[in-house]
Structure 1
Amino acid sequence: HRHGPLDPLLATVIRTTPARTGPDALARRLAALDREQFRHDLRHGALPAVQGQLERDEPPPWDEILAMLDEGGLPLRTRDQLAAHPHCPEPVAAALLDRDSEHTSVPLALVRRSRAYALLALDRLPVVPDWMRDGDLRASLTWSRHALDAGTLTPADLFTRGRPAHAVLRLIEEFPRDLGELSGLLAAEVRRHRTDSPDAWAVTAALLDDFAGTLPELLGTAAAATAPIFGRGNGN
């Protein structure tokens, strides 16, 4: 039996449901009451009650949960619980990631589970949390490292889709042994764009801190900025 602010309504529901309507009507009213209690528990972060609901045999009301996420009405602890649910659907996972771009627990709970979840995170979050940008990069709290370790993302994924560019470089610098393939991809891209000239490196360095795109996009921008003027626009 769960206790909460709506529990006193249970006796009222039973008392006011006409006997002639039969057990089905009572069951429907009790189910509606239970859904309302669950919404209340979600909004107020009643963790044991929410966990009990999520562990039931029937699936949670994901459509309602998604609507509540879109409204921004769920506390952080509740969002963590939803992300940890083994059958959290992709639309809910995407909403959780959108809502928690600065939070670590949600992507850590999702990205090891499947490539689909990891790609959702890759397209929404910086590969290194912003709060670690200027401090120690802790592998245990870096969701992109977890995804690489789990095999749900590849170094090529990080290189081609990881943002921002400076965060991908930070990963290469911090974990050179583990991310040798990523270093190789970077070297090949530098050769492809011919951005190994002093001018191109200077432009790359000037853009790096504030560049929001990927490493290939950064190198392409630097290459375009330092290309010979006579060669621009005519394909020569």
Structure 2
Amino acid sequence: MRDSSTDQRAVGFLLDLIDADSAVRIRRRIGAPRPGGNRRRAAHAALKLTPVPSSVLVWILEEDDPELNAAVYGHRSADEPMRRAVLRGMPFGPGRTGPLRVDTVLRKHAVEPPVPQPVVELGLVGALRAATAMGPARQAASMVLGQDDWRTVTAADRERPLPGYARWALSVRPDCPPSLRERFGSHPKFTHRVRRAGVLAGSGVYATAHGPAAHVLTVLSLGPALFPARVRDAENALRPLVRDHLGDREEAWAVLAQLLDTFHGTAPELIMTAGAIA
């Protein structure tokens, strides 16, 4: 296979879905290196170079690990609310409370931006209700930090629907609760806007419905080390396809490795195509 770390990570993610003995034999056949000993360190290094949907960064933050939080803080796809939440030690994991330890380097050198003036003057909900353009709406929405704030916003919208700009700005936040996002809209234009913002329904949907396959699989290959709780859905979605269309057939895996770079479809389409050709 091509000597590319991204290709190797993509194929490696799929090889981890079959039994270890077959994976060793197939790696030898297609020229894929064996995985290194420190997968977490390798995943950290790969994350710095890999563009990821915004939801993936939230999946990493849900691990509530100070070291991983620092990696998210420094990622080019991280937005201001993520960075602010990291600096404040906000937990993201379901049901977790209390501040997290902040990475030492961030604590010493990173500076949280000022709170937007409308939020200072009107409070969070007041600033959201006062937003009559996207700029102010984004500013106010950027201060929704943590589960308590999302509950406050949800209650406010139930009491009286928030303005359209505020709903828009909140809906494209990757940590917006799905139930609240559903309240905001379901029109195809709305869902398209959300998807363009990098908001994913889950790793299973990402694995099966997004492309190109090489990039999706490369992102998912970071999961076992960086977002293990979330990546399981992707593994469970792809494992039956790998078993049925590739299995332990060396030729099928060799075809998949050859197709990977130029294939524009989804991972399931790649797997089925490689299996059919072989």
Q: Which TM-score tier does this pair reach, normalised by the shorter chain?
A: 0.3 to 0.5
Highest CA radius of gyration, 1 or 2?
A: 1
